[in-house]
Structure 1
Amino acid sequence: MDSEGKLLMNRYEFRKPLGQENFAKVYKERDLRTGDMVAVKVIDKEKVLRAGMMVQTKWEIATIGRVKHPNVLRLYEVLATKTKIYLILEYAKGGDLFPQILKGNFNYNQATQYFQQLVSALDFCHKKGVYNRDLKPENLLLDENGVLKIADFVFSTFIESHRYNMLQTMCGTLMYVAPYVLRGKGYYGEKSDVWS
């Protein structure tokens, strides 16, 4: 999956790599049925299994499928082979928010708009009992119209799941984690997401 024009499942045409995570690579691809650009997250099953992260991966997929909101990155479909899992996601042309913050590329009105969109998405997620647990500018993407999208639910959990005990585990990105989480005092879903 590294040369332009290569096809995935005879439907998605490779364009370019977008990024890499511990267990996955993300590519920009074109959906040949619709002509739209999509992001394809390619998860290496072997790496995920070796790291004991398969449950997390399944929950990320379940969570993204559960939370449908204009400010949450949309999951179109999930495909799989013996060695890979492919998440076909909405393509956010504007990239992540972190470089925009570093460059100071937006004014007060834009910052307010992003904040309102983030709060709207978080409120929706929390009402569904979903807690992200790793909110940070790198996981906030912008589409071509500047609409903010929450991405990356790998550490998420939701209340009625048997993963509710996950609210007691330490996770997230150090710079954005609430102080009481760092002190081992548990993870209070809504409050911790808002802190981040």
Structure 2
Amino acid sequence: MIPEKIDRYEIKQEIGRGGMATVFEAYDPRFERTVAVKMLPREFMHEAEFRARFTREARTIATLEHPAIVPVYDFGEENGQPYLVMRLMTGGSLSDRLADGPISIDETAVILKRLGSALDRAHKQGIIHRDLKPANVLFDDYGDAFLADFGIVHDTSSTNALTASGSLVGTPTYMSPEQVYGDKQLDGRSDIYALGVILF
């Protein structure tokens, strides 16, 4: 069932659903703009690991502040359910575009340049995305590419691991060999591998 409101945000429609979150298009009356609200499903409300991942995603995006990373506007809880408010990306995903056929070399170069810059910023801050794939590359009204979904990032500077050693997180098709094998010493090269798979 789609809620009518989440905090002050007036829900218009569901626009996405994954294993760990549901995303809604919503209206923010305070700033009079349309936004995306990402919410942790009720079945994970009492799961400490999922709540921690959700909180970490919000803080990670806010810390990175890069023009090619979908920005976060707000973070909070509604009846115990954490939610994350982000810029609404209306241009679809790279997955959508590829479904219509190959894109040009020139457009590919522009997209890779933006994503590479975003990854460089993240890696310099010790953040590994771990789930790069076409569905997590979104576009705005102007056709600019943005990196999205930092739900399973790995912080190389943190000693508080949210993923058990040897467990598999990410999308296997785009994962580097070391990520598949559950290597705890992942670094930015794993994301670069995934970016190469997307390019291929």
| TM-score scaled by length of structure 2 | 0.85
Residues 167 and 139 from structure 1, CA distance in 2 versus in 1: closer, same or farther, beyond 3 angstroms?
farther
Residues 23 and 39 in structure 2, CA contact (< 8 A), matched pair in contact too:
yes
List gaps (5 residues or longer) in structure 2: 195-200
Q: State the aligned residue count.
A: 193
Deviations 1:55-79 (A, max 9, x none): 2222222212211101111110112
Matched, 1:140 2:147: no
Deviation of residue 182 (structure 1)?
2.2
Match of 2:78 in 1: 81
Match of 2:115 in 1: 118
Residues 80 and 86 in structure 1, CA contact (< 8 A), matched pair in contact too:
yes
Match of 1:179 in 2: 177
Deviation of residue 97 (structure 1)?
0.9
Deviation of residue 100 (structure 1)?
0.6
Deviating above 6 A after TM superposition, structure 1's stretches of 4 or more consecutive aligned residues are: none
Deviation of residue 39 (structure 1)?
0.3
Q: Indicate the larger mover: 98-107 or 64-73.
A: 98-107
Residues 38 and 45 from structure 1, CA distance in 2 versus in 1: closer, same or farther, beyond 3 angstroms?
same
Residues 132 and 157 in structure 1, CA contact (< 8 A), matched pair in contact too:
yes
Percent of paired sites with the same residue: 28
Residues 131 and 152 in structure 2, CA contact (< 8 A), matched pair in contact too:
yes
Match of 2:2 in 1: 2
| CA distance in 2: counterparts of 1:93 and 1:129, whole angstroms | 30
SS at 1:95 equivalent: coil
Q: Indicate the larger mover: 46-55 or 88-97.
A: 46-55
| CA distance in 2: counterparts of 1:144 and 1:62, whole angstroms | 25
| CA distance in 2: counterparts of 1:151 and 1:132, whole angstroms | 9
Deviation of residue 84 (structure 1)?
1.1
Matched, 1:40 2:28: no
| CA distance in 2: counterparts of 1:19 and 1:2, whole angstroms | 12
Residues 90 and 105 from structure 1, CA distance in 2 versus in 1: closer, same or farther, beyond 3 angstroms?
farther
Match of 1:189 in 2: 187
Residues 175 and 7 from structure 1, CA distance in 2 versus in 1: closer, same or farther, beyond 3 angstroms?
same
Deviation of residue 15 (structure 1)?
1.6
| TM-score scaled by length of structure 1 | 0.87
Match of 1:29 in 2: 26
| CA distance in 2: counterparts of 1:78 and 1:186, whole angstroms | 29
